[in-house]
């Protein structure tokens, strides 16, 4: 992938997290964001499937259950492209730290688990830039399932992979689908050298490891602002750290 051949040249830093639903990665990213801000850094946050360009279309497709593996993949690619060029690259150019809850690796795992060709999916995202640091929070399916059901009554249709007809039972379908995703994540970790975190460990223990890795990764980082503000490329008001919303249970955006 040409976007991953060399590190990006922007003065900012891009840190991303990956993991199956219920891995706890969003909680860890929130804790990291708060810590970075406390250290005086200006941080910008972005998350998967949040672009206004396709958000309503995706929501409608989920509601009507009309999304196929291909259309799902293309919608997520459009979402990512929109956020990359409008929500990630500008703050990176401004020298900020960008935190992304899910990156292209989500597509490499989920879309392939849904039946899309691995080579095709990777080519679809070949415009992406390589993150400076990529974490993968690894957790068994039974643990992730327990976390999700502890926060809400049922599993979502696409979250469980019900569109793939793996099982009529949502829980069984979830287990089969997420197991497929775990297998793909193992391949992604090997191919792109993600930093693996044991997501079954205590929250504070995971965060301690994350902060140690981030501290090393930021050793040569030189912020381009003072007092927690950065000038936005192309004009506009200074941008201060963008906060991460409170986690909605243990489930992640799908």
Mean pLDDT of the chain: 88
Query: What does the pLDDT read at residue 121?
Result: 97
pLDDT tens-digit map of 135-150: 999 999 999 999 999 9
Terminal Cα-to-Cα distance of the chain (whole angstroms): 24
| pLDDT value at 240 more than 50 | no
Q: What is the dihedral of CA 16, 22, 23, 26, to 10 degrees?
A: 40
Q: How confident is the model at residue 151 (pLDDT cuts 50, 70, 90)?
A: confident
| pLDDT value at 1 more than 60 | no
| pLDDT value at 239 more than 60 | no
69 near 111, Cβ under 8 Å?
Answer: yes
- Domain borders along the chain are 12-217
Q: How confident is the model at residue 200 (pLDDT cuts 50, 70, 90)?
A: very high
Least reliable range by pLDDT among 2-16, 108-122, 127-141, 165-179: 2-16
Place of tokens 């799908």: 254
Give the SS3 label for residue 100.
strand
| pLDDT value at 228 more than 90 | no
Q: How far apart are CA 68 and CA 164, in angstroms?
A: 9
Name the CATH superfamily housing domain 12-217. Answer: P-loop containing nucleotide triphosphate hydrolases (3.40.50.300)
Q: How confident is the model at residue 153 (pLDDT cuts 50, 70, 90)?
A: confident
In DSSP terms, 16 is beta-bridged to: 100, 134
Q: How confident is the model at residue 3 (pLDDT cuts 50, 70, 90)?
A: low
């Amino acid at each position: 992938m040409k976007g991953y051949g060399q590190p990006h040249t922007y003065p900012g830093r891009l840190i991303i997290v990956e993991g199956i639903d219920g891995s706890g990665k969003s909680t860890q990213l929130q804790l990291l964001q708060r810590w970075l801000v406390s250290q005086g850094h200006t941080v910008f946050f972005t998350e998967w499937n949040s672009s206004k360009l396709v958000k309503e279309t995706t929501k409608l497709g989920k509601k009507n259950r009309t999304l196929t593996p291909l259309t799902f993949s293309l919608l997520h690619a459009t979402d990512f492209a929109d956020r990359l060029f409008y929500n990630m690259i500008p703050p990176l150019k401004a020298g900020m730290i960008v935190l992304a809850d899910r990156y292209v690796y989500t597509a490499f795992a989920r879309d392939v688990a849904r039946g899309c060709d691995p080579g095709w999916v990777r080519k679809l995202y070949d415009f992406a830039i390589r993150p400076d640091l990529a974490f993968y929070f690894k957790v068994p399916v039974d643990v992730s399932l327990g976390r999700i059901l502890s926060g809400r009554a049922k599993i979502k249709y696409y979250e469980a992979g019900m569109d793939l007809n793996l099982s009529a039972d949502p829980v069984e379908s979830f287990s089969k689908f997420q197991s497929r995703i775990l297998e793909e994540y193992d391949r992604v970790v090997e191919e792109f050298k993600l930093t693996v975190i044991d997501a079954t460990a205590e929250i504070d223990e995971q965060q301690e490891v994350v902060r140690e890795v981030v501290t090393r990764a930021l050793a040569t980082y030189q912020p381009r602002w003072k007092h927690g503000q950065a000038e936005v490329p192309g004009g506009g008001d200074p941008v201060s750290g963008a906060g991460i919303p409170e986690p909605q249970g243990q489930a992640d955006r799908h």
